[in-house]
Amino acid sequence: MAASMCDVFSFCVGVAGPARVAVEVRFVSSAKGKGLFATQLIRKGETIFVERPLVAAQFLWNALYRYRACDHCLRALEKAEENAQRLTGNPGQVLPHPELCTVRQDLHQSCPHCQVTYCSAECRLAAAEQYHQILCPGPSQDDPAHPLNKLQEAWRSVHYPPETASIMLMARMVATVKQAKDKDRWIRLFSQFCNKTANEEEEIVHKLLGDKFKGQLELLRRLFTEALYEEALSQWFTPDGFRSLFALVGTNGQGIGTSSLSQWVHACDALELKPQDREQLDAFIDQLYKDIEAATGEFLNCEGSGLFVLQSCCNHSCVPNAETSFPENNFLLHVTALEDIKPGEEICISYLDCCQRERSRHSRHKILRENYLFVCSCPKCLAEADEPNMTSEEEEEEEEEEGEPEDAELGDEMTDV
């Protein structure tokens, strides 16, 4: 039961509604499945498409540790200065140019029943219309005996930071179908994501939950069923169906990161300043990130994940011609061309970060096999096929010995800082 292309492209957005997207989805091969191809010339630097997710959810530990985000679109809710104060552990931290902060706290709204916070009335209404009527715990928001709270606590007990998935993404999938008038449409859309064999699904679940994954998966399935059972999705609640749903989220979930501080930094970078003022501001920002690293480490952003139908059709390459980012400080995913892309050419992104892409072919393959269960055959991997086929222990040992250079620039793949 396949979703129509009209269904798929309805989640692409432009400045004034649905965008005209210069791409099409094609079958590539039995090994690769689908791929995304350009239908016209796309120039380097152009935004190929902007897509909103079918569903998205903040990671549970991230939310517990007071990374405040809109419960629907994951927009960061703290002002940039508040964000800097929390991340540095310094309540007296002051940022220059406070007028560059884009957070509008006067627009924030809460659910009147459970008090979860949204960045705007639009997000509160969108959540209520799609899934929140089912998931709203009402006055039981802080009751540990509530079925959804028991499910979330069980998830936190088996999936620790750094987080890569959330049981609440699956919960929002079920709640969306439960609330929908056209349940079949949503079931078709969720069925678009790639399927794995039973053995591959077990590998994904093992990766997410650890060595005792079978018992933990059954506990989660039982709590998931108690909280959310839906007859139209009965297959999802069986042991095999739940494992498949788990693997779908583990394989296709796209990380989302938002940060009011990173938005402020981008705005600072765009300021036209005298050379001396620019030097002072850059030095301030560099020191700020060093202070944050010392206090908080690598966890800078509000983080979560979402399911994006069109983006999930983009295959991996170690030399990608496109990249994903979240420049609007919410869940809207931008795919941008890194080079000119000709009509008929496949649009590929990288599932590896920039540091991983510089590692040896064997190290890249090891990461991709463990996390995505495929062997890469991109031009770079084929060109390096004669390299020694051994684990890059030397690379890992060097990284451990050297650590981060003192002046290393703190970046973030998801927020494009």
Q: Would you say residue 279 lies in a domain?
A: no
Q: Would you say residue 274 lies in a domain?
A: no
Q: Would you say residue 232 lies in a domain?
A: yes
Q: Would you say residue 270 lies in a domain?
A: no
Kindly state whether residues 206 and 109 are assigned to the same domain: yes
Kindly state whether residues 129 and 185 are assigned to the same domain: yes
pLDDT above 70 for 361: yes
pLDDT above 90 for 126: yes
Kindly state whether residues 116 and 47 are assigned to the same domain: no
Q: How many domains does the chain have?
A: 2
160 beta partners = none
pLDDT above 50 for 92: yes
Q: Choose among 277, 213, 271: nearest CA to 246.
A: 213
Q: Would you say residue 302 lies in a domain?
A: no
Kindly state whether residues 190 and 115 are assigned to the same domain: yes
Q: Choose among 57, 56, 62: nearest CA to 301.
A: 62
Q: Would you say residue 95 lies in a domain?
A: yes
Kindly state whether residues 156 and 206 are assigned to the same domain: yes
Q: 164 by DSSP, 3-state: which?
A: coil
Q: Would you say residue 142 lies in a domain?
A: yes
Mean per-residue pLDDT of the chain: 88
Domain of 108, in residue numbers: 55-255
Predicted pLDDT at 403: 46
CA distance 95 to 97: 7
Kindly state whether residues 321 and 356 are assigned to the same domain: yes
Kindly state whether residues 191 and 159 are assigned to the same domain: yes
29 beta partners = 33
- Which of 222, 237, 255 finishes a domain? 255
Strands 315-316 and 348-349, sheet pairing = parallel
CA distance 16 to 122: 16
Q: How many CB atoms lie within 10 A of CB 225?
A: 17
Predicted pLDDT at 210: 76
Kindly state whether residues 33 and 94 are assigned to the same domain: no
Share of the chain above pLDDT 90, in %: 73
pLDDT in tens, 236-273: 999 999 999 988 998 899 999 999 999 999 999 999 99
Predicted pLDDT at 232: 93
Kindly state whether residues 112 and 155 are assigned to the same domain: yes
Predicted pLDDT at 415: 40
Kindly report each contact of residues 181-187 with a partner whose C-beta sits within 8 Å and lies 24 or more positions away, as own/partner. 183/232, 184/1, 185/3, 185/7, 186/54, 187/1, 187/232, 187/233
pLDDT band at 106 (very low <50, low <70, confident <90, very high): very high
Tell me which DSSP letter residue 389 carries: -
Q: Which residues are CB-neighbours of 132 under 8 A, at least 6 positions away?
A: 71, 111, 175
Task: Average the pLDDT over 180-205 and give the result.
Answer: 86
Kindly state whether residues 173 and 224 are assigned to the same domain: yes
Q: Is the pTM of this model over 0.85?
A: yes
Kindly state whether residues 214 and 250 are assigned to the same domain: yes
